């Protein structure tokens, strides 16, 4: 495909993919959030244990400093993989929509918005607990 063909078609950028993802509404946001949660948890663990491993018993302040450095590396990686994660979220959005509908009905939430809030809270809680436990174990 030449330059003229690609400039005439829709650009394949993270902005464009995120715009398409927004069309799914709350399910699109949840899809992207679930992939972000999976990315941050997995990448944090990989960097902490395999990319830059250190022995335990480093002291609380050193463990917190290490956590901040690892999270900076994970965040930098997230900027590189944003388009891939957005594309994955777009592909998963129809499935997440069905899952959110099921979750809303199964647990008798008044709306998908309330079910969404519970799922997002769970994701944040899971990430917070994992980050806190790992950091404290190395302190």
**What contacts 52, CB < 8 A, 6 or more positions away?**
69, 70, 73
Residue 13 has pLDDT above 80, yes or no: no
More reliable by pLDDT, 18 or 2: 18
| Two tokens, residue 139 | 């302190």
**Cβ atoms within 10 Å of 92's Cβ, excluding its own:** 20
Q: What's the whole-number mean pLDDT along residues 4-21? A: 65
CA separation for the pair 132, 135 (Å, rounded): 5
Helix (H) or strand (E) holding 49: none
- In total, the chain counts a number of residues equal to 139
**How confident is the model at residue 57, as a pLDDT?**
83
More reliable by pLDDT, 11 or 44: 44
**How confident is the model at residue 9, as a pLDDT?**
52
**How confident is the model at residue 3, as a pLDDT?**
44
Residue (of 3, 12, 5) closest to 86 by Cα position: 12
Q: With a threshold of 0.75, does the pTM exceed it?
A: yes
> What are the pLDDT digits (tens) for 52-78?
887 778 899 999 999 999 999 999 999
Q: What single string gives the DSSP state of each residue in 8-76?
A: HS---SHHHHHHHHHTTTHHHHHHHHHHHHHHHHHHHHHIIIIIS---S---HHHHHHHHHHHHHHHHH
95 — pLDDT class (breaks 50, 70, 90): very high
> What are the pLDDT digits (tens) for 24-53?
999 999 999 999 999 999 999 999 999 988
């Amino acid at each position: 495909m030449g330059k003229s063909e690609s400039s005439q078609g829709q650009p394949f950028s993270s902005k464009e993919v995120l715009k398409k993802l927004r069309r799914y509404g709350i399910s699109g946001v949840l899809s992207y959030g679930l992939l972000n949660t999976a990315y941050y948890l997995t990448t944090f663990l990989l960097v902490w244990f395999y990319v830059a491993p250190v022995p335990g018993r480093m002291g609380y302040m050193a463990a917190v400093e290490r956590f901040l450095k690892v999270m900076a590396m994970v965040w930098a990686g997230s900027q590189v993989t944003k388009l891939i994660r957005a594309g994955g979220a777009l592909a998963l959005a129809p499935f997440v929509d069905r899952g959110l509908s099921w979750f809303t009905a199964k647990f008798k939430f008044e709306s998908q918005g309330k079910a969404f809030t519970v799922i997002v809270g769970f994701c944040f809680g899971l990430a917070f607990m994992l980050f806190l436990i790992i950091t404290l174990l190395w302190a």
